[in-house]
Structure 1
Amino acid sequence: MGCQRLTIGTFGEIGYLRTAGGRSVARARYRDWDGKTRLVQAIAKTRKAAERALKAKLADRSLFQPSSSGLTPDSRFPDLVAYWLDDLDLEGRLSTRTRQLYERNMQTLVLPVFENLTLREIGVARCDHFLKQLAKQSYSRAKQARVVLRLALGLAVRHEVLPRNPMDHVSRLRRPASTPNELTPAEVNAIRAAITYWEAGSSPSGPRPDGQLGAIIEVMLGTSARIGEVLAIRSRDIDVTSATPSIRITGTIVSHRGEPTTRQDHPKTARSRRTVAIPSFTAEAVRRRLTRLENSSLDALLFCSREGTPLTTNNVRRQLRHVLDLAGITGITPHMFRRTVATAINEQGGVELAAELLGHTDPKITIQHYIRRSEMVNPATAEMLDRVFAEDE
């Protein structure tokens, strides 16, 4: 056998022997990923068969091996998932809500398809086919599955279990064309009327109203804030005595599985922390709500339970749906008020102002997800064309 210098992952010349029983032995020196050179051999009936068996062994060894995970390319995918979730906890970078979301998406979207596969069996073609099939059902689910599958397989690459991430080469997911659905002023007033009727006690159905739902809607309409951000507003965040009343958005409400609902001391993004001048209808709703607060502390929540604890976003959504169902109004979600505000401000003041109000760092997000494009081209074009192409008298 040759004596050439071996680098990690390479093997020397193949040598051949014959056993007493007439079988062929192919062997070579191989430098493993721990830096040690070992003799690897394979036995078969013929020299060619022994050589093929040896090369197959060496190809298996050429895959990266981790030093501490215990995972190999032959490990089952659920073993990688468990290792990945432990690694997320070790990093501690994610919020509890995001960590739970990742685990849920992995368990419900990805594992049912990949749970019986080994890591070496998960290639580009399999991942690409999986995402395309899922995208036929739901673009959103396919997008969520892509995120967690990429992260888990990326960890396998970083920890030297796999040589590459097959998710790096799958086809790009194509978002279906959609138009943001905002409410018209008439629809907003119909919603207001339905809530007013219910809060007046005129409806015999459901628990006794506490007067908060209408004010919550007015604050969403006057600030463009997310429902969680509205429920996190404290007395110290409100200024309704200045010439320009305002509300400062500084936090959000979070509900983690198995834990009580709490106020998080920062909103969704850094740009989401902002002070918003509020219109008169919002200022009036806030003043009325402040007079009903029993807790005079600056940290008291503007909207809260009778015990002063935070309201959950799910309960507010459920209550809004119940009230509007009684009025025969369906398909309304709290986020639609945010889109409605974005569209109105875009029409009155432009997309840059709409993005600033919504707390977006990039106006492209505002355009793509929040603003309904007007099909009416600016009528000024007609005047311009008249000036250029009008017939001579």
Structure 2
Amino acid sequence: MGSLHDGGSNNGGRQEEARRRWCAVTGGRGFMARHLVAALLRSGEWHVRVTDLAADIVLGPGENEGLLGDALRDGRAVYASADVCNLDQLIKAFEGVDVVFHTAAADSSKNNLQLHYKVNTEGTKNVIDACMICKVKRLIHTSSIAVVFDGVHGLLNVNESLPYPDKFPDAYAQTKAEAEKLVMKANGINDLLTCCIRPASIFGPGDIVIPTLDQCGKTHFIFGDGKNRDDFVYVENVVHGHICADKTLSTMEGAKTSGGKAYFITNMEPMNMWDFLYMLHEELGYKRLFKIRIPLVVIKPVSYLVEWAYNVLLHHYGFCPPQVLTPTRIKYLTLHRTFSCNRAAEELGYKPIVTLMDGLKIAVKSYIRLRNTNSY
């Protein structure tokens, strides 16, 4: 009786294993991608192939004993070193995969058109080609709200009918728009279904916003008049948007409705940008903040000087530091940028699963815990 029961259990396990499918996440060690990989593993529906540039995966604080470490040990997750600029590596990484979540992109803080075109545009074309060669069923592409931003005009509650601008403020926005066009155009070719997710300003555990604010201590800087509104999105809501898109494309009706489309994903709680940063600052424990407002007439000349110094370092010394304060960055920090998620709600069934305030508290708590253990 015992042997029969054991055999039945093993058979059930094999059936469950057969039902579980493979997906791949490009740029899988990035900020948002790590949360996406974790969500896919938690769902129990997927084996996950994590792809990134490094030759081998290096687990961060808590990962070895956590979900990802367990999944790598028992085979529910595997790591594949793959550069999106290398088609052969992508083909190998996508073999046997049903769905690809393409999150890999060049560092947005480096305004280098050659780099961004190679990674964001040509890299995305390689991802599409590899999907078609490997007969991948669905491609969910991580785009950006930046694809509709011209750096001149503010955006208030705009929807997906807003066209791409004639001119983009930086290389990142330009090449992400080019990549998005490629992904949408590929929908329906060789049975590949595609969808683009345009997240707002992402925050959450592992982001760079909170450590930057922490470094400012009790000083809260405000650029310009401080009245611009922005849309923020907690990282788990971005992940949820990607999963909603995949589930929608997996149905016949959903594929007809959403295939080849792009969707804004936000927390649906637009607010004054500087108030949001102030809330984060306070949550970090800085209760009595010194507010320093810097007028645009002062900050703009400084930003042009910083950009000049950056270009000198890049072209004469080959050194490419992050562009912390540039004319382009000032545009992102001083203009309205809010977006409607109505289409995502109606067609993908998306709604935020974590509120802005809850996400803020979770993110800061996570950062403080890691900071206190010198793990950040």
Q: TM-score range by the shorter chain?
A: under 0.3
The higher radius of gyration belongs to 1
- TM-score (structure 2 length as normaliser): 0.22
Higher relative contact order (CA 8 A, sep 6+): 2
- TM-score (structure 1 length as normaliser): 0.21
Decide which structure has greater strand share: 2
